[in-house]
């Protein structure tokens, strides 16, 4: 009887550890974004054009494709459910995707600040998103 109770207790402890929800700080961020400025926000130290990597827990993405500024969003064409975005008014561009882990949804952004759309910056943003996906064994899901 004691063996049975110990086995049940061990199984209970192991399964409890598995269902712990993921937090924005639990993800492996691409190595170049080594400076953590706040929960879920990382930058490249001394990086030109403010490279920023953001992981944001969210339940609502309904307004991601509507904006009154010069904001545009379009598929990368390389990774399904990953999108380039350009906000000309704010001078930002990069990639965005949504992932789901343990029932929680997260938006993942790789952003660069530069006044005009630049394919090199968009490509770098896509590579950092793909690196993030590989490091965390996640796949992007449909945003809208």
Dihedrals phi, psi of 94, to nearest 5 degrees:
165, -150
CATH topology of domain 21-136: Jelly Rolls (2.60.120)
- Does 75 have pLDDT greater than 70? yes
> Is the pTM above the cut of 0.85?
no
- The pLDDT assigned to 7 comes to 45
Domain range annotation of the chain: 21-136
On whether the CB atoms of residues 88 and 69 are closer than 8 A, the answer is: yes
Instruction: Give DSSP secondary structure letters for 15-64.
Output: HHHHTPPP-GGGS---TT--EEEETTEEE-TT-TT--EEEEEE-S--TTT
DSSP 8-state symbol, 103 = T
98: which 2 tokens? Answer: 């949504």
- Does 65 have pLDDT greater than 90? no
Angle at CA 55, nearest 5°, toward 134 and 27? 45
Rounded to an integer, the average pLDDT of 13-30 is 64
- The pLDDT assigned to 10 comes to 47
Q: Cβ contacts of residue 9 below 8 Å, gap of 6+?
A: none
């Amino acid at each position: 009887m004691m063996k049975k109770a110990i086995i049940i207790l061990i199984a209970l402890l192991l399964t409890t550890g598995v269902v712990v929800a993921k937090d924005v700080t639990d993800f492996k961020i691409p190595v170049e974004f080594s400076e953590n400025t706040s929960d879920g926000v990382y930058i490249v130290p001394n990086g030109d054009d403010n490279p920023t990597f953001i992981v944001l827990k969210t339940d609502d993405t309904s307004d991601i494709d509507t904006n009154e500024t010069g904001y545009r969003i379009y598929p990368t064409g390389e990774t399904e459910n990953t999108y380039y975005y350009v906000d000309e008014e704010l001078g930002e561009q990069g990639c965005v995707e949504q992932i789901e882990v343990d029932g929680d949804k997260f938006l993942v952004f790789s952003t660069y600040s530069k006044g005009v759309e630049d394919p090199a910056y968009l490509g770098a943003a896509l590579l950092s998103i793909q690196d993030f996906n590989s490091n965390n064994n996640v796949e992007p899901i449909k945003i809208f």
